[in-house]
Amino acid sequence: MNKTKIINESIDYIIQHLDENISVEDVAKYFHYSKYYFCRVFKEITGESIYKFMKRLKMDQSAIDIKLERNKMITDIGLDYGYSSSNYSSAFKGHHHISPAGFRKSVDVASVFNPFFPQKLEKFKTFYDYDKSITIQYINDFFVIYERFIGNYVELKEKWYSFMDVYKTTMNKSTILIEKFYNDPKITGLNQCICDLCMTVDGIPETDNTAMIESGKFAVYRYDGKIQDIFRTLQGIFSVWLPDSGYEMNQRYGLNIYRQIDKNNECVVMDLCIPIK
């Protein structure tokens, strides 16, 4: 197994077990590596120490929980990630530069400033408008080739062109392009967002970077519009629809499944999918 695959799988493992208070030693042991070697390779591949990475993920994910689980006590959210009430507040404020209570009050369910276009105020639709456009679907497994991208989501267009060029010989009429995104760019630093660019494949390709996107129940919103407006739609779904929908996220990621792409006009038809319980 190459180093990049090791680190990608370790990131997946950390994300899946984030609220189990796992240690760096636990992660290294799971992958049968010494702690020293694992830490060195993680920093080599990601440019970030695994200690810093794990703390950052906890702080970012706990902020998402505060945003979505509005009736849950902030102290209980901190406990979910292994923090006492006093330590959690200090750690959260040190990372996000605002207290957990202040962050909860700052979450606006009417509009949001776009981090990619800082002067642009994005106004959300109503809960009813989102709800009437969302269907609950069971989506089957996808076996994919993928490339993990850690950086600014603005760069995804060029990353996609490069990714498709590398694997153009595996593409056919039935190929489906999928983004598996892990972060809210209003919470995670723009240059630290994780996204897997995925392409469905037939058979078993001769490459290490394959994965299975597991089947499950999803809330699906059919988006038809400009690429630059996807951020507003996703933020509306997460800020307005999900907290009052009666559903909870079942995984710490979402899927964008491309259905049509108009490169000339930078428009897409895609399914915005949230895994739900």
Q: pLDDT for 228-237, tens place per residue?
A: 899 999 999 9
CA 186 to chain centre: 12
Token representation of residue 165: 């060029």
**In-domain check, residue 127:** no
Single pTM value for the model: 0.92
Residue 53: pLDDT above 90? yes
Q: pLDDT for 68-77, tens place per residue?
A: 998 899 999 9
Note whether 144 and 253 are same-domain residues: yes
Token representation of residue 116: 């990619």
Average pLDDT over residues 193-212: 88
Note whether 174 and 92 are same-domain residues: no
- Per the listing, tokens 């490339």 go with 147
Q: Domain with 246 in it: what CATH number?
A: 3.20.80.10
**In-domain check, residue 251:** yes
Q: Which pLDDT does position 1 carry in this prediction?
A: 60
Give the Cα separation of 185 and 269 in Å (integer): 22
Note whether 155 and 230 are same-domain residues: yes
Average pLDDT, the chain: 93
Q: pLDDT for 136-190, tens place per residue?
A: 999 999 999 999 999 999 999 899 999 999 999 989 999 999 999 999 999 999 9
Note whether 80 and 185 are same-domain residues: no
- In 3-107, DSSP assigns E strands to none
Residue 141 lies in domain:
134-275
Note whether 81 and 160 are same-domain residues: no
Element (H, E) at 91: helix 85-96
Q: Which pLDDT does position 90 carry in this prediction?
A: 94
Note whether 96 and 207 are same-domain residues: no
Nearest-5° Cα angle at 93, 239 to 78: 70
Domain count, the chain: 2
